[in-house]
Amino acid sequence: MWYRLAVYLAHPYTLALGLLWLATARLWFRRRKTRARLTLLIAALVLLTAISMPAVAYLAVGTLEWSYPLDRQLPEDPQVIVVLGGGTLLLDESGEHAIAAGDRMVRCLEAARLYHALGRCPVLVTGGKVDPDEPGPTIARAMGDLLLSLGVRPEDLILEESSTSTYENAVESRSLLEQRGLERVVLVTDAMHMYRASRCFAAQGVEVTPSPCNQRAAYFQWSAGSFAPSPGGLMGVGAAAHEWLGIAWYWLHGRI
């Protein structure tokens, strides 16, 4: 316990936030006549402290994830598994070697699990390069290589390597699905991203069964640490805010 507390207090983020509060408190008590000028600074510090709490991050992420629980029933005869792409990790400067990174590895693991559990069916991996000049393979190819190592047969793997956004994932995937006469998909992506992704595919006329993975708000653990400001809490709130802004943008542009 004491070790964890010491590590938390010594973290650069905790130190910086603590020093900001100390400096603000010092100004508040030493400059009584100008306290009104500190109101905005104090409000900003209160907001930063609040959105850095893991408990607040849990609530923010949960608003996106709770509609997609882990125990959702999957179809008995899926036509195709569609896996949305994400980031890759380059292993050398030339980009010749790359692997699916972070959350995208979890998506591949979920797709492979479905592939073996539901019986062999095509697996479509969608994702090109956000930056065409970046070295290395496309996102779909890097994730496809991982799926092959997880037991997906080459003849069952379909790569879509031109899309650069969730909307383009849906548009380009629909084209490949239509060519093969497929219209019912099991969609694999992060639970936090599933709302926007599934509606993009539905807007393209694709019948979607969600299969979310990488849940971040599956349960809440009551502890003092859940209310202690941290970089992880701030990142969780930031990720949820990014997704909600993406949903609003897509809705305004008629993509969902």
Could you tell me the pTM of the whole model? 0.82
Answer yes or no: do 17 and 124 share one domain: no
Q: Hey, CA dihedral for 34, 40, 44, 50, is it positive or negative?
A: positive
pLDDT tens digits for range 141-180: 888 988 999 999 999 999 998 898 899 999 999 999 999 9
- Assigned domain for 224 exists: no
Answer yes or no: do 115 and 182 share one domain: yes
Paired with 88 in beta bridges are 100
pLDDT tens digits for range 36-67: 667 777 888 888 888 899 999 999 999 999 98
The helix, strand and coil proportions of the chain, stated in percent and rounded to the nearest 5, come to 55, 15, 30
Answer yes or no: do 86 and 155 share one domain: yes
Q: How far apart are CA 52 and CA 67, in angstroms?
A: 24
Amino acid in position 187: L
Q: How far apart are CA 238 and CA 157, in angstroms?
A: 34
- Assigned domain for 243 exists: no
Domain that holds residue 147: 80-213
What pLDDT band is residue 92 in, cutting at 50, 70 and 90? very low
- Assigned domain for 249 exists: no
Answer yes or no: do 13 and 121 share one domain: no
Number of domains in the chain: 2
Amino acid in position 164: T
